[in-house]
Amino acid sequence: MADVRPFRGLRFDPSLTDPALAIAPPYDVISPEEQLALYGRSANNIVRVEYGEQRVGDTASDNRYTRAARDLDDWRRSGVLVRDEHPAVYSYRQEFTWEGRQFARHHYFAAARLEDWTQGDIKPHEHTLSGPKADRMDLLRATRTQVSPVYCLYRRRGSGPSLPVVTGEPLYDFEADGQRHVLSAISDPRDHSALSAHLAACDVYIADGHHRYETALNYRNECRDRAPSWSGDEPENFVLMALTDAADPGLLVLPTHRMVNPVSSPPDAMARIARHFRVEDVTPAAGASGLASALARLDGEKRGTAFLAIGLEPGRTHLLTLAGRAALETLMPSGQPDAWKRLDVSVLQYGILAHIFGIDDAALAAGGVVSYTQDPRAAFDAARDGRARVAFLLNATPVEQVLAVADVGGRMPQKSTYFYPKLPTGLVMNALDPD
């Protein structure tokens, strides 16, 4: 049973800092160029805490983490950051545009009790890497503040009424980076009880933020192990979460396309692929419209498993469609649940990248062999101009598939989902100190 509670949010005072200038993307999508731009946007931009710059001459006592803690302390002392007096659940409406369509989705920011994966009420769908967890742990130790939320979806078990959207008087209502952000505090204890009761009857799925969640778990364990006593209700037992109904019509998942970096490939790659996939030449005419036509063909294969492959043959684009169940069982590792085997990203990773190109899990974890983008044109161009040996374009993973894999305890391959847009950092934070 998920235990979700109100908390005293730490946030920017809009009378002293424009929140449109203070927020930032999460750390894992900030490029060095974007980091520099965010530094220039405002002296109070949260990037200074979330993803501070590394400097020549950094030491154990003066580094990106100690500077993050110092900036947080300075902002709190000066009133740039204020902590709400009373616990609240924070309602957040995010409006955005994608490919000419208007979207809006609703979230609740709350404090959720941390659970070990074996408890099963909070479900992951991806594995984590050691590097990001070490970075996030150093930041959490230094600041004792959960700066960015773990983004989760919730779905009620069995039948019952859906949770009505609850809002309050806006604390923020602004536009930034092409999006509208509306944040309000829900302070009525009766609303808290209703929200908590509904979420207690739901399964909660981590959509984005697996590293942040596991870091919070490890930090809780670290604090518990050195404490003379432990009640289980200490602030370290909870993690900042943003929760969205899995049926929210504003949910948008983008595909993440793969570019295999310039390496030699087996001369018989096409022939080997053709043993398990139907292969159709769909080479587009020059220009974006031709690529759009090929993408439309890929979209038409959503109910099966299909990819666009650019560069398997020089200058050619092919539609690869899995030949059937027998091909699936031949290509996929044994011992995995069926929901996992049917994922397009699983078939691509194990049926093509590992099986044909020899790019296994260890090679992916080491990095440098495969790169990723949500932009199909970028992947297409990289393969056509030689920056990539071959590019594979995918359909997006449906939300229901993500939940199905998590329900059976599966972990999806790296870069399987991209929930768009990312939740901004800096709207509201969770300080672990009592005051």
Nearest Cα to 94, choosing from 253, 210, 248, 256? 248
Per cent of the chain over pLDDT 90 is 74
- Residue 264's pLDDT is 64
- Average pLDDT over the chain reads 92
**Can you list the residues of the chain whose pLDDT is less than 50?**
none
Q: Is 90 within 8 Å of 97 (Cβ atoms)?
A: no
Give the tens place of pLDDT for each residue, 329-345.
888 888 889 999 999 99
- Residue 286's pLDDT is 67
- Residue 5's pLDDT is 95
CA 144 to chain centre: 22
Structure tokens at 219: 């930090």
Q: What is the pTM of this model?
A: 0.91
What ranges do the domains of the chain cover? Answer: 4-252+420-431, 253-419
CATH number of 253-419: 3.30.1760.10
- Residue 161's pLDDT is 66
Q: How many CA atoms lie within 13 A of 205 on its CB side?
A: 27
Query: What is the distance between the alpha carbons of residues 414 and 222, in angstroms, rounded to a whole number?
Result: 27
- Residue 85's pLDDT is 95
Cα dihedral 100, 104, 110, 113 sign: negative
Q: What angle do CA 136, 10, 87 make, to 5 degrees?
A: 115
